[in-house]
Amino acid sequence: MRDTFLSFSPPDIGEDEIQEVVAALRSGWLTTGPRVALFQEQFADFVGAPRALALSSATAAMHVALAVMGIGPGHRVISTPMTFTSTIHVIEQVGAQPVLVDVEADTLNIDPAKVESAIKSGNGAVRAIMPVHLYGHPAEMDPILDLARRHHLAVIEDAAHALPARYRGRLVGAPAAVEGVVNLTAFSFYATKNLTTGEGGMLTGPDEIIESARPWSLHGMSGDAHARYGSEGSWRYDVVLPGFKYNMTDMQAALGLQQLRRLPSLQARRFEIVARYNGAFGELDALEVPFVREHVEPAWQLYVLRLKLDRLQIDRARFIEELRARNIGASVHFIPVHLHSYYREKYGYRPEDFPVANAEYQRIVSLPLSPRLSDQDVNDVIEAVSDIVDRFHA
């Protein structure tokens, strides 16, 4: 057994990132400036989006997306209980009502077959659908976009896990070309994500929508600090709307520029680790390895095992305790939104209202996954999991 604790998702920061942050600090430009502008351009190019807006988080990106689409009181927004709570919080924050739809049992992504009845039930106009590409496996976008076209909905993707991921060849973040459907995508650069800026996010989409979103990210002002205080700048600005304070700093963008450059090699390492895990755990009859549909390429932000609880004497909580006792960090992604007290009490949800999310939640375990893991770390995880399955097999 290993003698030091293996943390669940350590960030992989190289010397290039450190040097670039130092250069940003020495440049004298700390807040939104030239490095943010460059990061936005390179990120947009990378995912194949016409334009990108750098923000302080994915949560900020989703909040701004709802604001720019004019979604607010009296509107409803469709999403999934199988997500981090902030996807749903932003809907509440703009004064709209979240409408949760259960997930597909294999991918745990929103089930398009259940969306239509959710659109037709309840009061208030449904204005958007927010699919989440859970664990980095793209949601089933073709039927979702078709529903959006037929019901005149915006599609705002939570791609916090999905950099880089492909659905039928198209990178997540490249807006879908569906007549009449505005398609925006939010990425996260939180410390555990595939690309990190410590904290940060990006919103991608069509030119004109992203340009309209820009003032929402910085006090509703026309032009950022660089535009005002740079050599070409002017003291004049106008406030065109009551915007948020969600801009990214040049120090964050410095990290992002170098992480983006390294992303292909970081992903290659993620894929190696996933292949090792799949090889080892695919052999064990008490475990299910992650499901991957043929027409997608997942980003593998998380590696989530499912326990076959009828083949084990222990439950998921005990499984994670046993991992911890073997110095392996593990986690659960996520406690479904409808089980949290705020949403349970406000909307009267019962656990069984979303039977698939509720059942699958009981048996998911996220294992350590980061390009930072050594081969020995990966061996240690495999040994610990195999040992637990062996000891507690039913």
Ligand X SMILES: *Cc1c(COP(=O)(O)O)cnc(C)c1O
Provide the annotated active-site residues: 193
Radius of gyration of the chain (CA): 21
Q: How far apart are CA 44 and CA 337, in angstroms?
A: 31
Provide the 10 A C-beta neighbour count for residue 124. Answer: 13
Which CB sits closer to ligand X, 40 or 188? 188
Nearest to 48 by CA among 140, 158, 185: 185
Which CB sits closer to ligand X, 49 or 280? 49
Burial 26-48 (b: 16+ CB within 10 A, else e): eeebebbbebbeebbeebbebbe
Which CB sits closer to ligand X, 58 or 305? 58
Q: How far apart are CA 36 and CA 20, in angstroms?
A: 13
Residue type for position 16: D
Q: How far is the CB of 192 from ligand X (least distance, A)?
A: 7
Beta strands in 237-316 (DSSP E): 287-288, 296-297, 303-307
Do 55 and 310 form a contact (C-beta atoms < 8 A)? no
Q: How far is the CB of 99 from ligand X (least distance, A)?
A: 18
Which CB sits closer to ligand X, 46 or 190? 190
Do 248 and 200 form a contact (C-beta atoms < 8 A)? yes
Q: How far is the CB of 303 from ligand X (least distance, A)?
A: 14
Q: How far is the CB of 132 from ligand X (least distance, A)?
A: 5
Which CB sits closer to ligand X, 201 or 298? 201
Pairing of strands 287-288, 303-307: antiparallel
Q: How far is the CB of 189 from ligand X (least distance, A)?
A: 6
Q: How far is the CB of 87 from ligand X (least distance, A)?
A: 5
Q: How far is the CB of 254 from ligand X (least distance, A)?
A: 18
Do 216 and 73 form a contact (C-beta atoms < 8 A)? no
Q: Which neighbouring-strand residues pair with 221?
A: 239
Pairing of strands 296-297, 154-158: unpaired
Which CB sits closer to ligand X, 161 or 226? 161
CA 147 from centroid of its chain's CA atoms: 22
Q: How far apart are CA 381 and CA 343, in angstroms?
A: 35
Do 161 and 302 form a contact (C-beta atoms < 8 A)? yes
Q: How far is the CB of 222 from ligand X (least distance, A)?
A: 26
Q: 3-state class of 154 per DSSP?
A: strand
CB proximity list for 321: less than 8 A, separation 6 or greater: none
Burial 215-236 (b: 16+ CB within 10 A, else e): bbbbbbbebbbbeeeeeeeeee
Angle (CA) 135-296-298 rounded to 5° is 30
Residues that bind ligand X (CB under 6 A): 57-59, 83-84, 86-87, 132, 158, 160-161, 188, 190, 201
Which CB sits closer to ligand X, 29 or 39? 39
Which CB sits closer to ligand X, 201 or 243? 201
Q: How far apart are CA 51 and CA 147, in angstroms?
A: 25
